[in-house]
Amino acid sequence: MKAKRVLAVHDLCSFGRCSLTAAIPVISAMGMQVCPLPTAFFSNNLTYGEFTFHDFTDKMTGFMDRWEKLGFAYDAVYSGFLASVEQIEVVRDAVKRFASHVGSLVVVDPAMGDDGKLYPVFGLEYVEAMRTLVKEATLITPNFTEACFLLNEPCDMTAPSEEKLRAMTEKLAALGAKQVVITSVPADDEIKVVSFDSATGEYAERTTPRIPFTTCGTGDVFTSVVTGALLRGETLSAAAELAMRFISRVMEYTKDAGTDPREGVIVEPCLKELLR
């Protein structure tokens, strides 16, 4: 059977697992071909405090022009952290060019904030631009903070009720995405993930114990697992459950390994758990 093909639009960090170095192994292990469209090249991820990088924005459209000329096709377009409004527009162009056929999947991880606030590099104009990309998506995977900003709602980091969470997922779907997963929902000593599929009306909540350990790349791994699972034909609820369990597994493994947490989650020894 021909492998499905994912156009992954993320930055590339040579050292420290996140973005493309998290997405490529995860989606590949799940049986898909990953074709990267780098937004920027970094010597290492930003948690080290210093880095060298090269912005690739002005080359991205040229890559797409050549792919279009060669007749390349993709089963999914999947974007993660984007550094500017200009890059958001490039992803919208990629969706228009390569995700127009029936059954194509558009996944947007609107990575722009956490812990109740935007990342320092972003302002409200970026949030507004991200809403235009969300409108093009099949699936969006914001964390709770990002969901609040997309909805222009106060970001209260106390544990929300099921009624509030369901309303948030439905309002996010009304922005344009057919499927919604909200991660990192405040839930005391647990991690909560909720999902909503507007086509079926199915809403689901799931929790896992909070692991006393932090590292980078977890959001990239989570959305990559969900993307792979959906391309394998699994339901959104099953995909979110698999992603949550896999993140818990790699977090435990990484904590027990005792490596520098700046290196990101250790996914390599755990990839076999994504096979079927």
pTM for this one? Answer: 0.96
For 203, phi then psi, to 5°, come to -115, 135
Q: What is the mean pLDDT of each run of 10 residues along the chain (276 residues)?
A: 93 96 97 97 93 96 97 96 96 93 89 94 95 97 98 94 97 97 92 96 95 91 98 97 96 94 96 92
What tokens appear for 111 in the block?
């990575």
**pLDDT the model gives residue 231:** 97
- Nearest partner of 225 among 47, 9, 32, judged by Cα: 32
**pLDDT the model gives residue 102:** 64
